[in-house]
Chain A
Amino acid sequence: DAGVTQSPTHLIKTRGQQVTLRCSPKSGHDTVSWYQQALGQGPQFIFQYYEEEERQRGNFPDRFSGHQFPNYSSELNVNALLLGDSALYLCASCRGRETQYFGPGTRLLVL
């Protein structure tokens, strides 16, 4: 039974560029959440998708957008990258509002 998978594992971008991160939920899960974890900090909630709709959003600017596909997989898009967007981006999945299980994350470095 595959867990949550994310791609790519690492990414290097320059300021102003755009990036897309991908997440496949654990089998049987229909809800996907995205978190940003800066170095030495706890994860910060970005948004959550359920039934292809954004169900909840954290305190992040509109540069951060997402999408959920019919197969429950999800993408996180970040436009106009800033140096401060450098972080570990974690995807979590769950069924409904049950316990969230996390993927290995994507490490984004913005130069």
Chain B
Amino acid sequence: AQKVTQAQTEISVVEKEDVTLDCVYETRDTTYYLFWYKQPPSGELVFLIRRNSFDEQNEISGRYSWNFQKSTSSFNFTITASQVVDSAVYFCALSEAILTGGGNKLTFGTGTQLKVEL
């Protein structure tokens, strides 16, 4: 069975600080996808990134960066120079890569509430 653990329930930082959100996953599949979604107070989940299990290259997009380490089953997300607009709940998710038949359901962690204050 697949499982995603986000041990940090809530993180508070002051604007311009860097913050890292942790994600640890469990799966028996050799091929899978990892995701991060952002959920602002409005409720809609906003897609941030998708990584294939075969691609361990770290990725940077503006102030966002992701560190994927297969050896420790972790997919951590760092926000550099945080801003108040970054305040939201962030979810890490996992799906198996089905080549034929079957669906691609997402298994989510419990989320990390990030509060960025002035």
Contact = CB atoms under 8 A, between A and B. Distances in A.
Interface stretch (B58-66, B79-87, B105-113): B105-113
Interface stretch (A13-21, A37-45, A67-75, A77-85): A37-45
A100 B43 contact: no
B108 A97 contact: no
B50 to A, nearest CB: 5
Interface stretch (B13-21, B68-76, B96-104): B96-104
Q: Is the interface of B mostly helix, strand, loop or mixed?
A: loop
Interface string A90-111: 1010100101111111010000
Given A97-B98, A99-B50, A45 B44 contact: no
B106 to A, nearest CB: 6
B105 A56 contact: yes
Interface in B8-40: 35, 37
Given A48-B105, A58-B105, A99 B110 contact: no
Counting chain A CB atoms within 10 Å of each CB, the highest count among B43, B46, B47, B91 belongs to: B43
B42 A42 contact: no
Contacts of A40: 110
Interface residues of A, number: 27
Contacts of A48: 103-105
B7 interface: no
Given A56-B102, A104-B42, A45 B107 contact: yes
B44 A102 contact: yes
Interface string A12-40: 00000000000000000001010100001
A100 B102 CA distance: 15
A41 B110 CA distance: 5
B102 A55 contact: yes
A88 interface: yes
B34 to A, nearest CB: 11
29 contacts: A31-B103, A33-B105, A40-B110, A41-B110, A42-B91, A42-B108, A42-B109, A43-B91, A43-B108, A45-B105, A45-B106, A48-B103, A50-B103, A55-B103, A56-B104, A56-B105, A58-B105, A92-B45, A92-B106, A94-B104, A97-B97, A97-B103, A102-B37, A102-B44, A102-B45, A102-B46, A102-B47, A104-B42, A107-B43
